[in-house]
Amino acid sequence: VAGVVADAMGQEESGGILGALEAGRAEELRDQLAASGSLARSYWVCAFCVNQHVGICSGFGPSPIDDSDAYLQWDAGRRDVVTGQIHPTCPCREPKYFNDSPD
């Protein structure tokens, strides 16, 4: 929510907005949005509108060429930063839909 409000206010960072929300100053933020003409602006928040789980739960995507910088980045992204263990994948049986899936 803080990210959307920050964008509507033309801010690049949302930390100040988050602090205001945590401090119970939502009405103050609403007034600022209204004054700037951004209160009625619509946003598409993908996390609320798309079941992203079905596209990411079964794996980490194809592995780049071993020992390349891309591989090292890919490998680091699939590991727990504390333990170094590979994150488990989800065993759900939800059908998978990707960008190239037919409608």
Q: Longest C-alpha distance within the chain, in Å? A: 54
Percentage of residues of the chain with pLDDT beyond 90: 63
Residue-wise pLDDT for 28-62, tens only, equals 999 999 999 999 999 988 777 777 788 778 888 88
Cα–Cα distance for residue pair 57/93, rounded to 1 Å? 10
Confidence band for 64, pLDDT divided at 50, 70 and 90:
very high
| CB neighbour list of residue 57: distance below 8 Å, 6 or more residues apart | 89, 90, 92, 94
Cα–Cα distance for residue pair 54/97, rounded to 1 Å? 7
**Number of residues in the chain:** 103
Q: Examine the pLDDT at 85 and tell me if it is beyond 90.
A: yes
Q: What is the pLDDT of residue 26?
A: 97
Mean pLDDT of 15-38: 96
Q: What is the pLDDT of residue 69?
A: 94
